[in-house]
Copies of this chain bind each other. A is one copy, B any other.
Amino acid sequence: MSDGFCTECGGGCIQQIPDGDNRLRRVCTRCATIHYENPKNVVGCLLEWEGRVLLCKRAIEPRHGFWTLPAGFMENEESLMEGAAREAFEEATAKSDDLRLFAVYSLPRISQIYLMFAGQLRDGFAKANEETLEVGLFDEADIPWDTLAFPVVTETLTHYFKDRKQNGKPASTGVHYADIHSRPGAPLDIVRHPSIVDL
């Protein structure tokens, strides 16, 4: 099956299983370069100010007009935490203090990994920009659960408030790991803390 062009020589590529491999890869029919494709990381922040959590109403597709935590694709040559802080600034003009890794989610359906940091919103300041229609600081009781953009946002917030309740202070315990299988808007399909993988 023809599948695009080679980044090295511009030749046509096909899907085939290279020698010594066990998966289909994009392979160039001219120069034999193998093009590997791997999951992408999304990094983001859950920022709190006086007990309230910063959310952004999306100005871009997918899920335009739905509420999200500031997050986006990690860039080359940055650390996870730098990426998370960058996204908070790009999406909500927000600066971050005391960030710590808080949750890691696999989304195998779309080959993405979410790495979420929790921290403090500096000076309680945030404002909308070209990626965001509106920003807001929400108490737990006011979270717009029905209009959250993605299952991963629902899961992150749910875990955060549960953790905060158990500890009586901003989330300060372990890192949450889960596999998220649901589509946006569909019932949640989440495997939390899986502990055994059979081969």
Could you list which residues of chain A lie within 8 angstroms of chain B, going by C-beta atoms? 4-13, 20, 23, 35-41, 73-82, 84-86, 89, 95-101, 104, 106, 108-109, 111, 113, 115, 130, 173-175, 177, 179, 193-197, 199
Residues of B contacting A195 in the complex (Cβ-Cβ under 8 angstroms): 98-100
Docked pose: A111 CA to B178 CA in angstroms: 24
Residues of B contacting A5 in the complex (Cβ-Cβ under 8 angstroms): 5-10
- Copies of this protein, total: 2
Q: Is the beta-carbon distance between A96 and B197 smaller than 8 angstroms? A: yes
Docked pose: A39 CA to B194 CA in angstroms: 25
Tell me the minimal C-beta distance from A125 to chain B in angstroms.
Answer: 12
Q: Is the beta-carbon distance between B99 and A80 smaller than 8 angstroms? A: no
Residues of B contacting A40 in the complex (Cβ-Cβ under 8 angstroms): 38
Tell me the minimal C-beta distance from A95 to chain B in angstroms.
Answer: 6
